[in-house]
Amino acid sequence: MAATRAAIALDEVGGVAFDMDGVVTDTAPVHAAAWKEALDPFLRDYARSAGERIPPFDVHGDYLRYLDGRTRAEGARAFLASRGMASAEGTDRQAPDAAAVALVCERKDAAFLDRVRRFGVAGFASTVALVGELRRAGAATALVSASRNCTAVMEAAGLADLFGVRVDGGDAARLHLPGKPDPALFVEAARRMRVPVARTAVVEDAVAGVEAGARGGFALVIGVDRTGQERELYRHGAHVVVSDLSQVTVVGRSA
């Protein structure tokens, strides 16, 4: 069961890295809708040319299983492979080529930014409150996102100044950092906060992000279950799972 309360103990944790989508900003539904807008026409065209029936994109199951927490390209490849567009032993199917991946990524990016511009982005008040509490208590905080649209999203949410440290998709490309579930993005955030990984906490809502925190050996991995993935978050390494960050308190010498 999801915990009713969780604590960040500042005698053990000196810095906290927060994922953006689904933890700081309520953008997961926007991403899912943009992916559907990009992928469904592509799937229809592919099905027509191949003479096959291919299920459309599911904004809940497919998004959580293949796309949530991953870079656009990694997510697109994983999803297209799930629809049979990948090589497999005993078949003659071809892996999704770079042009196909680039096309759906470009369409998704345009659809996402259009939705952000038209409708804005909401931030989670409980997350903003927790970040403020941590900063007042002397803990370092960082924002981590695989998205290259991180700045645009935070500005749309009115939260551009919430974090002094930020690691996003642009940094990942520039530094050649692999995406989640590899812990590289969180390790870079800890480095920029000047806090050892063993004294850094990770707050994530995506299975891939929780797995990244567990693989990296971070001091505390807090899963945020907003989509009914509690069991999966625990299975992939969350130390504790809450439904909202209002359930997390800050305790210890500096609090």
Instruction: Name the band, by pLDDT with cuts 50, 70 and 90, for residue 2.
Output: low
What does the DSSP 8-state code read for residue 113?
H
* Whole-structure pTM value: 0.83
pLDDT of residue 235: 97
Of the two residues 99 and 254, the one the predictor is more confident about is 99
> Considering the chain, what percentage of its residues have pLDDT values greater than 90?
73
Residues carrying an active site annotation: 19, 21
Stretch 164-173: mean pLDDT: 94
Stretch 55-79: mean pLDDT: 89
- CATH hierarchy code of domain 29-119: 1.10.150
Stretch 93-113: mean pLDDT: 83
Q: 137 to each of 10, 132, 150, how far by Cα in Å?
A: 8, 9, 26
Q: Where are the domains of the chain?
A: 6-24+124-251, 29-119
**Does this chain's domain 6-24+124-251 share its CATH topology with 29-119?**
no
Instruction: Name the band, by pLDDT with cuts 50, 70 and 90, for residue 96.
Output: low
pLDDT of residue 253: 65
Stretch 141-149: mean pLDDT: 93
pLDDT of residue 86: 60
CA distance 248 to 7: 5
Say which residue the tokens 């906490």 belong to. 201
- Tokens standing for residue 154: 């935070």
CA distance 213 to 201: 8
Ordered strands of the 15-19 beta sheet: 165-167, 140-144, 15-19, 200-204, 220-224, 240-242
The yes-or-no verdict on residue 254 having pLDDT over 70 is: no
What CATH fold (topology level) applies to the domain 6-24+124-251? Rossmann fold (3.40.50)
pLDDT of residue 100: 85
Task: Please count the helices (runs of H) and the strands (runs of E) in the chain.
Answer: 10, 8
The yes-or-no verdict on residue 242 having pLDDT over 70 is: yes
pLDDT of residue 90: 34
pLDDT of residue 52: 87
DSSP secondary structure string for all residues of 205-253: SSHHHHHHHHHTT-SEEEEE-SSS-HHHHHHTT-SEEESSGGGEEEEST
Of 60-74, 84-98, 211-225, give the lowest mean pLDDT range. 84-98
